[in-house]
Amino acid sequence: MSVPTRNGVIGVARRRVDGRAKVTGQTRFADDLTLPRMLHCKLLRSSVPHARIVRLDTSKAAAHPGVHLVLTGETFPDCLRGVAGEPRRARALP
């Protein structure tokens, strides 16, 4: 598929700059990083589309060993962005 050119670049297959790193397993993806004091985040999403959230009980989650913080929509009372920009009374996470 290569086409001879005067400058030897156009039409000539070139390795990706990160090709070597990727075939040797050296490329660092987000899941490969470990940083000091790093915490992991777990999103709990509604199992029902377009449902109204009436009540959230996070007490067990907050009490679970190793859990540092539980955030819900109540943490962000001024954030009203929902699906397609529709305002909500509910206390869901955006």
Partner 1 sequence: MMNHNTASSLASRQRLALEVNGEPADALVDTYKTLLELLREDLQLTGTKHGCELGECGACAVLLDNEPVLSCLVLGVECEGRQVTTIEGLQGDTALHPLQDAFADLGASQCGYCTPGILITAKALLDREPRPSRAQIKDALAGNLCRCTGYLQIIEAVEKGALECARKGVK
Binding site for partner 1 (CB under 8 A): 13, 15-16, 18-29, 31-32, 38-40, 65-66, 68
Helix, strand, coil shares, percent, the chain, to 5: 20, 0, 80
Closest contact distance (angstroms) between CB of 65 and partner 1 is 5
Q: Do 71 and 58 meet the contact criterion of CB atoms below 8 Å apart? A: no
Instruction: DSSP letter for 60, please.
Output: H
Which of 67, 71 has the CB closer to partner 1? 67
Which of 41, 48 has the CB closer to partner 1? 41
Closest contact distance (angstroms) between CB of 49 and partner 1 is 24
